[in-house]
Amino acid sequence: MSVILGGAVKLYQYLNDDIADPRTQEWFLMRSPWAGLAILSIYLMSVLKWLPNFMSKRPAYELRSIIVIYNIIQMFGCAYVFYQSMKLGWLSHYKLVCQPPDEEPHSVDYAWRVCYGYFVLKLMDLLDTVFFVLRKKQNQVSFLHVYHHFGMVAVSWGMVKWLPGNLRSKISLYLRKISMMIL
């Protein structure tokens, strides 16, 4: 048993400390996975259990103005992340061929900050589901919807933790931001 626990601790230290990008270690929610996992757990419990129970005997909330403001913020946030990733990526010195991430801690390459902005937008996306539940649109809270939002937060956290500024990160950002601006 102690061998298994020792191996788990070593794996955690390897993933969380050894191979993590040092530039992002002190950023909010990036030091360890526990705060992010707590947010995702609260999200799951809220949209699948707590909020539906809370809304069961209440009328649907009218959230049109809040949702309009939320959508405007999301649209501008997506456009900003897309523009910054293009400006700091392919519109400057990157090429369409594989290029390793910049390992310089104090580099002028700020693409890793754009990756963090993307992560923050994915956290904000969790509100989509909350709005569905508060408007009594529970039929829109499908397994696929919840899985998508949960997975996007987890994957974008990993992207910031281990691959900020990497070519794969940028391609993923470009494609997702274009589709999210359209939607």
Query: What does the DSSP 8-state code read for residue 178?
Result: H
How far is residue 123's CA from residue 100's CA, in Å, rounded to a whole number? Answer: 27
Amino acid identity, position 157: W
Q: Which of 93, 145, 148, 149 is catalytic?
A: 148
> Is 148 assigned a catalytic role?
yes
How far is residue 159's CA from residue 104's CA, in Å, rounded to a whole number? Answer: 18
Computed from CA positions of residues 85, 88, 90, 95, in that sequence, does the dihedral angle turn out positive or negative? negative
CA dihedral 150, 153, 154, 158 (to 10 degrees): 170
> Which residues are annotated as catalytic?
148
